[in-house]
Amino acid sequence: MRITVVGSGYVGLVAGACFADLGHGVVVVDNDHRKLIALRNGEVPIHEKFLPDLLSRYCGHRLTFAEDLKEAVRQSAAIFVAVGTPPTESGEADLSYVESVAREISGGIDSYKVIVEKSTVPVYTSDWIRKIILRNGTDPALVDVASNPEFLREGTAVTDFLFPDRIVIGCDGERPAAVLREIYAPMTGGSYYQRADSIPCPDRCKIPPPIIVTSTKSAELIKHASNAFLAMKISFINAVASVCESVGASVNQVVHGIGTDARIGPRFLNPGIGYGGSCFPKDIMAFRAVARECGYDFRLLDEVMRINEDQRQRFLRKVRSALWTVRGKRLGVLGLAFKGGTDDIRESPALFLVQALLQEGAKIVAYDPAAMDRAREVLGSNVTFVDSAYDAAHAADALLILTEWEEFANLDLNRLRSELKYPIVIDGRNLYDPEVMAAQGFTYFSVGRAASLPDGVPTSAVKNGKSA
C-alpha cells in the first residue's frame, strides 16, 4: 500500500521506516527542509536502536522523503499525521500543527483517502480534522478520519512499533478499518515475524499482536488514558518511596511485594526523579484539560503532577543535605536525556536538576552517551561536557546519576571511587545496591532506600535526605 507519514520526528520517522519494513511504499513529509536534506543524505537525526539499519535498507526506494504534502497525498491511500501536539500555556494540546496539516491535505484529495491520527490528540480531534478538510472543499465521500494511537517508547521505538502489545484502530465505519487492517496485516497475520530479516523479537512479546477496533473517540481516549495511568503508576511508587525513606523501609522490597501481584504487575514501578519526556507531562495536562472541558474535574491528575514535581525537589534536597552547601561544588552528572536509550532531552528531569544546581552555584561536569549535543544547545558553556562517566566523576565533590542508561549501572566502582574527590554518589535512578556501595567505600543516597555510609561508619550518622 502507498502511505504518507506527515512529520519525521520520533514517531513519524520510526513509523515510516517500520511501514517500509512491512513492505509498504512510504513517503515521509516534513516542512523542515534541513531535516529532509539530512535524511536524504542518509543521516539519522535521532538515536534509536535499529533505525539506522531500517533507513539504510529502504531509503531512496521503498522509503522517500518529501516536502510536497499535496503530491504525497495524491499518491497515497492512507495519510498518517505524526506532527507535534505541544502544550499551550494553559496545558491544553496545541493542535495548530495538526490543523495546518489537515488544511494542506484537503488540497491533495482526488480519490478515497483515510487520514489517520498518529499524533496524541484530545478526544473530538478527528471530528475537527474532518470538518477542516470538508470546509476546504473536499467531497465528503472521499475521506474518512481514523485514530491509530502510537504506544512506542523512545529508546526502544522500532521494537515497540513492530512488536506492540496491541494495535488500536479507532474508526467509525468498515471502509477505513479495512484500509488500516491491510496496512497492519503483515504483523497481525504473522508473516512479518517469519521473515529471516525481520527485526529481532524482544522478550515477552505477543506474536502476532492483537488488533483492537474501537470508535474513533474511544481510540483517542485510550491513548490519553494509557499515558495518564502510567504516569499515575510512577507518581504512586514515588510517593510510596517517600514514605519508605521516612520509616527506613526499602522501596525495592515494597515494589517486589506489590509488583508480584498479577493485578498490579512490576512495570512502571521504578522510583526515581519523576517522569519527563515529550509525552507524559504534556499528555497528562492535556487529558486534565479535556476532562475539564467535558465537565469532569479530574483532580487525581493534579496530584500525579504534583508528586512528580515534588520528586525533583526532594532530589535537590538530597544533594544539599549530602554536600551541605552547593555553591562552588564540582558535581559530576551522569545522564541528561529524559530516560535511558534516547537522545531526547524534552522535559528531562535531569536537565531540570542540572539547571537548578547551576542556579545554586554548582559547577557541573556532565556525560551522556547520546544526549550531549542536544543538551549543549540548551545549557551552552555553563556545563562542561566530557566523554565518559569516569571523566565526569574526576575530582568531583559528588556524583549524581540522573538517567538510567545501562552503562551507568555497570561502572567499575574502584575506578569511580578513585576518580572522585569525595566518594559520594547521589543516585536518582536506584542503579546500585546500597550495601554494595557501602562495601565499596561510598556514601550513597538513592530513592526510597536508606542512605548508606562506607562500611565501618555507623548508618545512624546519615538519614536519607534529612542530614549528612
3-state DSSP assignment of residue 434: helix
What are the φ/ψ torsions at residue 330 (nearest 5 degrees)?
-95, 120
Q: Is 8 in the site for ligand NAD (CB under 6 A)?
A: yes
Q: Is 100 in the site for ligand NAD (CB under 6 A)?
A: yes
Indicate the residue among 155 and 271 with the shorter CB distance to ligand NAD.
155
DSSP 403: S
Strands (E), 192-319: 211-214
Cis peptide bond upstream of 434, omega within 30: no
* Contact with ligand NAD (CB under 6 A) among 30, 92, 368, 397: 30
Q: How many helices (H) and strands (E) does the chain have?
A: 18, 14
Given 18, 171, 279, 294, the catalytic residue = 279
Q: How far is the CB of 466 from ligand NAD (least distance, A)?
A: 36
Give the footprint of ligand NAD on residues 140-169 (CB under 6 A): 150, 152, 154
Binding-residue total with ligand NAD (CB under 6 A): 26
Q: Is 29 in the site for ligand NAD (CB under 6 A)?
A: yes
* Contact with ligand NAD (CB under 6 A) among 2, 23, 31, 49: 31
Q: Is 119 in the site for ligand NAD (CB under 6 A)?
A: yes
User: Looking at beta carbons, which residue is closest to ligand NAD?
Assistant: 9
Q: In whole angstroms, what is the distance from residue 311 CA to residue 235 CA?
A: 9
Q: How far is the CB of 334 from ligand NAD (least distance, A)?
A: 22
CB-based contact 336:400 (threshold 8 Å): no
Q: Is 76 in the site for ligand NAD (CB under 6 A)?
A: no
CB-based contact 444:462 (threshold 8 Å): no
Q: Is 209 in the site for ligand NAD (CB under 6 A)?
A: no
Indicate the residue among 10 and 445 with the shorter CB distance to ligand NAD.
10
Q: In whole angstroms, what is the distance from residue 238 CA to residue 269 CA?
A: 8
CB-based contact 18:57 (threshold 8 Å): no
Q: Pick the stretch among 79-87, 209-217, 288-296, 450-458 that binds ligand NAD (CB under 6 A).
A: 79-87
Please report, for residues 314, 316, 337, 450, 463, the alpha-carbon distance to residue 466 in angstroms, rounded to integers and kept in the order given: 10, 12, 28, 11, 5
Q: How far is the CB of 328 from ligand NAD (least distance, A)?
A: 38
What are the φ/ψ torsions at residue 129 (nearest 5 degrees)?
-60, -45
Q: How many residues are present in the chain? A: 468
Q: Pick the stretch among 3-11, 189-197, 249-257, 428-436 that binds ligand NAD (CB under 6 A).
A: 3-11
Indicate the residue among 29 and 402 with the shorter CB distance to ligand NAD.
29
CB-based contact 465:445 (threshold 8 Å): yes
Indicate the residue among 115 and 365 with the shorter CB distance to ligand NAD.
115
Indicate the residue among 280 and 444 with the shorter CB distance to ligand NAD.
280
Q: Is 106 in the site for ligand NAD (CB under 6 A)?
A: no
Q: In whole angstroms, what is the distance from residue 404 CA to residue 98 CA?
A: 33
214: burial class by Cβ within 10 Å (0-12, 13-18, 19+)? middle
Please report, for residues 17, 153, 168, 260, 277, the alpha-carbon distance to residue 13 in angstroms, rounded to integers and kept in the order given: 6, 13, 19, 36, 18
Q: How far is the CB of 353 from ligand NAD (least distance, A)?
A: 21
Catalytic status, residue 205 = no
Q: How far is the CB of 8 from ligand NAD (least distance, A)?
A: 5
Indicate the residue among 49 and 463 with the shorter CB distance to ligand NAD.
49
Binding site for ligand NAD (CB under 6 A): 6-12, 29-32, 35, 82-85, 97, 100-101, 119-120, 150, 152, 154, 278-279
The set of catalytic residues is 279
